[in-house]
Structure 1
């Protein structure tokens, strides 16, 4: 594939596009060699050679696309290929390292706190939002298969929802789960998940799950 030079503008167009994560991964993989040359100071003025801003945006984007394609070990390997000095000093790459630790250790609440609370560059915000939705989808499916019964507050933690509303047994919070096929027992105060099955041929969750997660996100803490 003949790609235009890696620039902030080109990266911005890619990140803001609605390309499937697998396609984004392929394109950014092809750009990595160019980024390596830049980090070594071998880039041309036209491509912003050695530009720390461009390199930060590229590696942050590539990292998030690794997570979007569920390649967590590979994302860990990528952090070892990031320019060492930039990785130690750049806030965005530091955020990536913090996020990786939380994802690796399945610290659900911390993942949402990092995605929502840390300062991410405007250019990569679309990828941050996409990964939050992906992480919620993946977690919802996993929880639906792992539990026969779960407290509302625990389910809210897994999905990054408002804990206070969950403690109050907010009807809208409950409704978002029941729309996934779960049932709510008001006597035992327990949710009973229904296993969510997504075809392995699908690269994204079903539209029904995505619509439900959009509503869940609207009530996230």
Structure 2
């Protein structure tokens, strides 16, 4: 089986392509009737779907893998623990699942990149949902200790009220749409009318 496209994506850290590459390869070998289950990179495939936040595809992939393979591949089970935590929105649990396994060299870069991406997603979520949030809750959402979470937030422009241990969220500037000048609209209408007649 030719995994060169998958190896290239892994080597170039194009992790967002892994799920699609694996899905395509799986379709190709299935169409040819080639048994692929033993040598298939199940954990990488599952992590690829998790990386792009496609939890439904992750669940279906997990269900399609025979239990004998699940039992023989601890890294696959560890990858699914991340998927389970995402499914149940156990934000702190996602980080626990990531740190709770000694990932293979092949998977380590992918998992590390996912962890960074997930932290950024969580930070964006906090920024859009809160105007103030406790240091403790921020640490929980970001999978960090309180000091690291505080430093991370301060680096992003947030401020800390040290007396209450609350972080004040720096909101992103809201981009407003430019209003159309009524006189421009009138000219455009006249132009279109002229073209039609």
TM above 0.5, one fold? yes
CA deviation digits over 1:169-208, x for unaligned, max 9?
x4x65332122121211222210123458x9xxxxxxxxx
Aligned residues of 1:6 and 1:34 also touching (Cα < 8 A):
no
Q: Does 2:31 match 1:17?
A: no
Moved over 3 A (4+): 9-13, 34-38
Separation of aligned partners in 2, 1:35 and 1:88: 23
Cα contact 1:25–1:65 (8 A) shared by 2: yes
Distance (Å, rounded) in 1 between the aligned partners of 2:106 and 2:29: 17
- What is the root-mean-square deviation of aligned Cα atoms in Å? 2.8
Local SS of the residue matching 1:111: helix
Secondary structure at 1:150 match in 2: strand
Partners of 1:191 and 1:25 in 2: CA distance: 37
Contiguous gaps of at least 5 residues in structure 2:
176-197
Q: TM-score, with normalisation over the residues of structure 1?
A: 0.68
**Is 1:187 matched with 2:163?**
yes
Give 2:21's aligned residue: 27
**Structure 1 position 123 matched with structure 2 position 106:** yes
- Unaligned 5+ runs, structure 1: 44-48, 200-221
CA contact (8 A) 2:138 2:149 kept: no
Task: Kindly state the Cα deviation for residue 114 of structure 1 after the two structures are TM-superposed.
Answer: 1.4
Within the candidate set 150, 153, 175, 1:174 is matched to 150
Give the direction of change, closer, same or farther, for the CA distance of 1:126–1:67 in structure 2 (3 Å limit). Answer: same
2 CA distance for matches of 1:36 and 1:29? Answer: 10
TM-score, normalising length: structure 2: 0.75
Distance 1:133 1:35, change over 3 A: farther
Matched pairs, number? 175
Larger radius of gyration: 2
- 1:118 match: secondary structure: coil
Q: Which has the higher contact order (CA 8 A, sep 6+)?
A: 1
